[in-house]
Amino acid sequence: MSTDTASIKSTTPPISPSLFGLTKDDLVEIFKQHDEKPYRVDQVLEWIYKHRAGSIDDMLNLSQPIREKLKQQFRFKTLSKVTIQGSEDTTRKYLFKLHDGRYVETVLIPASKGLYGDKADRLTACVSSQVGCAYGCKFCASGLAGLARNLTADEIVGQLMMVEELSGQKVNNVVFMGMGEPLANFKNLEKALDIITGQWGMNIGARHITISTSGLAPVIKKLADRPQQIRLAISLHGATDDVRDKIMPVNSKWNIEELFNSLHYYKEKSNKRLTLEYILIKGVNDSLEQARILAKRAKGLKALVNVIPYNTVEGLDWERPDDEHCYKFRNTVRDTGVVTTMRIEKGHDIDAACGQLRLKQESSEGIIKAPIKA
């Protein structure tokens, strides 16, 4: 569960970098080393992010020798599409294969429900930050087989580029709520954020990006120190340490008090709205007493609360409470004046928690052993 740079290095594969993982500053440096004119950098970036070139050979206003040099040094697209589930006006789930045979999931959600984006009728992409996850929350498919590795910056950016290409639509909001713990892959996350928000890059405003974390208090402080106004969502899922301890091992490292200290720091530094995420698991964290404590904690931070009825995961015994109880829980929080949202989908199989598609694929290939039938 270490977040130091040594662990980041050891779980990042040693391969030639992709152009999708370079910032403008990186490219300027590289072109300088090759004695190329700085305006060439703008040309390359335009090919990647404006014209959406399919390969380095498509970059027609670059000379052949420059293209050859780039091809020797860099890969281009590093993700390949395996399956797409869902259709245009519903949630779509994409399964991508990575260069080393591992898999990653990305989800496109058509109309933002107004919680993470500013406007409705926007397209939200839910991206993954790691293959698997080391944090082992008891209810989550992504953590079931542990952490395989961090995603590189180009694999994070690549998910967005691929879903835009495959859907033919522009992504307006990005949420880091797919597989993995984004704050445990902070170095690559920061680079990806620079590329996603860069005007020369994907040009998506920081205010349209939400990072979800299970509560890595020291890294929340680091994020707060960044000048950008990224939104933050906290997977709380328990309003007291005894409840949170039962389902989220991360709580033994940074308990609720430490977590909230870092959230107050974040709030002071960035003054951005925070969201407390609270999945409802029957008989585990869904008492109305928890709802009242949750409301109190949210008030102290002026945070929004998002209540999420649990999506069942194959191989795990946790269940969601019935709809009536979910509404009762939500109303208990809402009646205190805290802005509270909850969405109960009818057929929630396609919306099923991220991580299951990849788990099925990788266990069917024998890459991992997981309690999910292939």
Q: Any idea which residues carry the catalytic annotation?
A: 105, 354
Q: Under the criterion CB under 6 A, does residue 148 sit at the interface with ligand SAH?
A: no
Type of residue numbered 146: G
Contact 118, 208 (CB under 8 A): yes
Nearer to ligand SF4, 215 or 321 (CB): 215
Q: Under the criterion CB under 6 A, does residue 279 sit at the interface with ligand SAH?
A: yes
- Looking at residues 301 to 340 of the shown chain, list those that interact with ligand SAH (rule: CB under 6 A): 308, 310-311, 313
In angstroms, give the least distance from the CB of 130 to ligand SF4: 8
Q: Under the criterion CB under 6 A, does residue 235 sit at the interface with ligand SAH?
A: yes
Taking CB under 6 A as the rule, which mask of x and - marks residues 102-141 in contact with ligand SF4? Answer: -------------------------------x-xxx--x-
Contacts by 22-25, CB closer than 8 A, 24 or more apart: 22/74, 22/154, 22/195, 23/191, 23/194, 23/195, 23/198, 23/201, 24/198, 24/200, 24/201
CA-based nearest residue to 98, from 118, 78, 83: 78
Identify the helix (H) or strand (E) that includes residue 108. strand 103-109
Taking CB under 6 A as the rule, which mask of x and - marks residues 351-370 in contact with ligand SAH? Answer: --x-----------------
Per-residue CA distances from 276 to 48, 55, 243, 316 (Å): 36, 41, 16, 24
Per-residue CA distances from 334 to 236, 340, 341 (Å): 17, 5, 8
Q: Under the criterion CB under 6 A, does residue 142 sit at the interface with ligand SF4?
A: yes
Q: Under the criterion CB under 6 A, does residue 143 sit at the interface with ligand SF4?
A: yes
Q: Under the criterion CB under 6 A, does residue 107 sit at the interface with ligand SAH?
A: no
Number of residues that bind ligand SF4 (CB under 6 A): 11
Query: Given the rule CB under 6 A, which of 8-16, 89-97, 210-218, 239-247 is the region that contacts ligand SAH?
Result: 210-218
Residues that bind ligand SF4 (CB under 6 A): 133, 135-137, 140, 142-143, 180-181, 214, 235
